[in-house]
Chains A and B, each alone.
Chain A
């Protein structure tokens, strides 16, 4: 009951802060200090959003972007999760991959876009590759930290009860590192979502929310640009709150490995 009340309160607070920001923007747009073509009012942006969704164009762009993010992130998880666990368990693997990760991680994913265009051409492959690059390191490093943070007493208890290497891995190390893995997923999604829009601006042709924004600039369609930004923001927000929030509540929060809020 208390958890439910806490959740509705946090949603209410989120709504208040978003509405306040929207009202501030709208009053700025209506002040007459800026040309309406550059700073359109919220109803204008809303109309562009609804039109784009109704005629299917914005929805199709959104699906393209989501497809690239989910595929790129899926690949990043498929590589980052097992590799992070191996790095946490084996000194030799850690010694080999950690310097590599440390050297590659600080390179902004967008800096790779021109290189990837040369290698993979314009389109999906480059965008997905950029997403993969952006999402890989948060996944890898959080998993690695998570494995090292597994309480040694769980390993001792597991071994004492007859767990072999395989059981220890699946039934102790994986759940034991889950708070960090979920943080890794969250950060990976965030990085992926940021990277995909940039990659689409530079490398995607014809489809994707990033491309819509880039293309709308040519036609001075500020309302469409802002409508796309709203979609990008909403989807990011929905993933953070619904997908990762639910995942966390169903696992590490339920297990008491992380706590619901400050008290």
Chain B
């Protein structure tokens, strides 16, 4: 059984300008420990679909199942990382940000500190455990956000363009780090991006979406050995293939 099943999911909004279709009949499966990228131009409904999987939005038709159970709202089986650096709580140190989910679960203080520190080590920030977010760079803040989303041990990690606001060099580092974290934790990852190279670097499979209305156009498996080399000829071929599907 697939870990995540997206079944004929549609979402329409009623706006003052009339009815807008965000997602129209999207269907695909994601296997356990698979890394799937949703790729498409802005307005294709990829973020909306991620928010439906997260349980922030309810689809107007169809359903999402995780581990066989239908998604009816947010749940602690999913961790989420947003694009906005401001997602961290500025009044909490890196360690206490990471510990937040464990705190909500009622994990005792010594244990949650231990786990939070392990998670910070995973993203190579254990030295900054007691720093407040405003003393960290954008890339470091996003690493804390990843550690925070993983700390309460969800089986699914949802990421909404987490590195889009970073400079190109930092983004390369972050992609390498995320690939390492994924290898170490074996989470099922759903990763939204509009960056084709990023998708080829990270994904086992790419789900390509097109706008007006947001539908799944096709799916492209990426069967390259890891760690991947972005200058490799096959890597570039995959990029070209994705771009062709996107119609650019």
Contact = CB atoms under 8 A, between A and B. Distances in A.
Contact of B134 (A151, A157, A159, A255): A255
B86 interface: yes
B137 to A, nearest CB: 13
B56 A172 contact: no
Q: Chain A interface secondary structure, helix, strand, loop or mixed?
A: helix
A175 interface: yes
A16 to B, nearest CB: 32
B134 A256 contact: yes
A153 B91 contact: no
Contacts of A167: 103-104
Nearest to A156: B56
B152 interface: yes
A175 B84 contact: no
A154 B134 contact: no
B56 A255 contact: no
B128 interface: no
Given A159-B74, A162-B76, A256-B135, A172 B104 contact: no
A157 B87 contact: yes
Nearest to A163: B104
29 contacts: A153-B82, A154-B86, A154-B87, A154-B89, A156-B56, A156-B82, A157-B87, A157-B88, A157-B89, A158-B100, A160-B54, A160-B80, A161-B76, A161-B100, A161-B101, A162-B74, A162-B101, A162-B104, A162-B105, A167-B104, A171-B100, A171-B103, A172-B89, A175-B89, A255-B90, A255-B132, A256-B132, A256-B134, A257-B90
Interface of B: 54, 56, 74, 76, 78-80, 82, 84, 86-91, 100-101, 103-105, 132-135, 148-149, 152
